[in-house]
A and B are shown apart, each in its own frame.
Chain A
Amino acid sequence: MTLLELAFAMPILLVAISLFSSALVAMFEQREISRERFLASEAVRSEFERMRNEEIGDVYALFNEDPEDDLLGPGTAPGSRFDVFGLDPLADAPDGLAGEVLLPYVNVAEPGMPPVWELREDMEWESLGMPRDLNRDNVVDAVDHSEDYVLLPVEARVEWVGRFGRKELRMYTLLTGYSMDP
């Protein structure tokens, strides 16, 4: 074998080895990403089930970020954030929890004043199907419906630091009350 033949063969061999290695790394990376997404989706499904375990009229007060409306006193409700087993939250995640429940409420207080939260039908939120009639009066209005809603669209978001960088998962559901009465 001459030096010239070697000079041709080595780069071709190196390219082949690097392609094979890249494929292996990508395969393991995909497996790990899939596993992280599975953990995130399992946590969100369980959180949705915990919300379904409550009376529909209590879900908003229990799972929003306002501690003042908690049913058993400030700070007694589960709140809007939840833990996700097996995933590391972002460094700036509130309470160090990776999961968050998002409901269609807004702060209507004046700037500089304590927050006043209202569950609104007129919010623009495409992924939740908003604006939407939440109390079944066939009207989409701009008043607080935290006491009389019967439908509650919910978005759950999980943000975590995975092995291959920052990842995010969003899932949606629509909660309503069950009744055997017509």
Chain B
Amino acid sequence: MNRSMRLTRHLTRAGYSLIEVLLAVALLGVLAYQVFTVISVASRSTTTDTTGMVLEDHALTVMQSIANAIMGTNRDTLEPALGAPLSSDDINYRIQLGIEDGEVIWEDPERIALDDSDSRVFWSQNPDTDEERRVFWTSLVAPFLEGELLNGVDDNGNGLVDEKGLSFSIDRKAVTVRLTLEERTREGEIVTRTLERTVTCRNPQGETP
């Protein structure tokens, strides 16, 4: 008798009712949706941050290459020599290698510029000649500097008008280089990074070639 009563009591306590199961599934569904939303937002944010980090490192590498080239130039060889509010998307220069027998020794003419597509920065030695040697440094340049529009107005307040994604402006011996890179993430979001650096020509004197 006692054993049968215990067995009966055990059987009546086992299992869940349909309502309990439905409630639990509904609650789990709501929680799962919330968790999925948070993970999705975090994943998109991480992708944007990662793309931004990579773009920034890339922009820094390009900017460092440009700065190293301009530092060794003679100021009088810079062309075009445009000052604010004008700017140019290319710069021609010659690097002073040293002095031999009282004569200045010059490197071959060089150029840093945007190509015809306006999205690639290249360095060129002996430009516009049969011996031209060209190296592309990046293909992620934005059409215009961040915040700038093609409207004849200084939209981004940097003193320049309608400057492109790569721009050079010259003030005496100093060249200010501005570079905006942009890239589209997998989700279609455009990530932009902008760098600005002022570089002074270290060789201000000497006969021009």
Interface on A for B, CB 8 Å cutoff?
31, 35, 38, 42, 45-46, 49-50, 52-53, 85, 178-180
| Residues on A with beta carbons closer than 8 Å to the beta carbon of B200 | 49, 52-53
Closest to A180 in B: B205
What residues on A are CB-neighbors of B198 within 8 Å?
A: 46, 49-50, 53
Select which of B53, B172, B174, B197 is within 8 A of A31 by beta carbon. B53
A97 to chain B, nearest CB (A): 16
A42 and B174 alpha carbons, distance in the complex (Å) = 15
User: If the complex has contacts A42-B197, A45-B197, A85-B196, are A179 and B205 also in contact, measured as CB distance less than 8 A?
Assistant: yes
| Closest partner residue, chain B, to A177 (CB atom) | B204
A46 and B205 in contact, given A31-B53, A53-B171, A53-B173 (Cβ under 8 angstroms): no
Determine how close the nearest CB of chain B comes to the CB of A171; give it in whole angstroms. Answer: 15
Complex: A49 Cα to B198 Cα, angstroms: 6
Question: Would you give the 0/1 interface string for B171-207, flagging 1 where the beta carbon is closer than 8 Å to chain A?
Answer: 1111000000000000000000001111110111110
Q: B199 contacts which of A31, A49, A179 (Cβ < 8 Å)?
A: A49
Enumerate chain B residues within 8 angstroms of A53, measured Cβ to Cβ: 171-174, 198, 200
In the bound complex, what is the Cα–Cα distance between A17 and B171 (angstroms)?
56
- Give chain A residues whose Cβ lies under 8 Å from the Cβ of B196: 42, 46, 85
Please, which residue of chain B has its CB at the minimum distance from the CB of A54?
Answer: B172
**A85 and chain B: residue at smallest CB distance:** B196
Distance in Å from the Cβ of A167 to the closest Cβ of chain B?
Answer: 18
Contacts of B206 in A (CB 8 A): 180
* Chain B residues packing against A (C-beta within 8 Å): 53, 56, 60, 171-174, 195-200, 202-206
The 3 closest A-B CB pairs, nearest first, are A53-B174, A52-B200, A46-B198
Known: A31-B53, A50-B174. A42 touches B195 (CB 8 A): yes
Q: Which of B56, B195, B204 contacts A178 (CB 8 A)?
A: B204
Q: How far is the CA of A31 from the CA of B204 in the complex (A)?
A: 39
Q: List 6 A-B contacts (CB under 8 A).
A: A38-B60, A42-B197, A46-B198, A50-B174, A53-B174, A178-B204
In the assembled complex, the CB of A29 is this many whole angstroms from the nearest CB of chain B, namely: 13
Cα–Cα distance between A85 and B200 once the two chains are bound (Å): 20
Docked complex Cα distance between A49 and B199 (Å): 6
Minimum CB–CB distance from B193 to chain A (whole Å) comes to: 11
Q: How far, in whole Å, are A74 and B176 apart by their CA atoms in the complex?
A: 26
Residues in A neighbouring B205, C-beta threshold 8 A: 178-180
Bound Cα distance from A85 to B178, whole angstroms:
13
Contacts A46-B197, A53-B200, A180-B205 known; 19 new A-B pairs at CB < 8 A: A31-B53, A35-B56, A42-B195, A42-B197, A46-B196, A49-B174, A49-B197, A49-B198, A49-B200, A50-B174, A50-B198, A52-B173, A52-B174, A53-B172, A53-B174, A53-B198, A178-B205, A179-B205, A180-B206
Complex CA distance for A54 and B199, rounded to whole angstroms: 12
- What's the least CB distance linking A170 to chain B, in Å? 20
The docked-state distance in angstroms from the alpha carbon of A10 to that of B139 is 52
Distance in angstroms from B178 CB to nearest chain A CB is 11
Min CB gap A133→B, angstroms: 24
A45 to chain B, nearest CB (A): 7
A130 to B144, CA, bound (A): 46
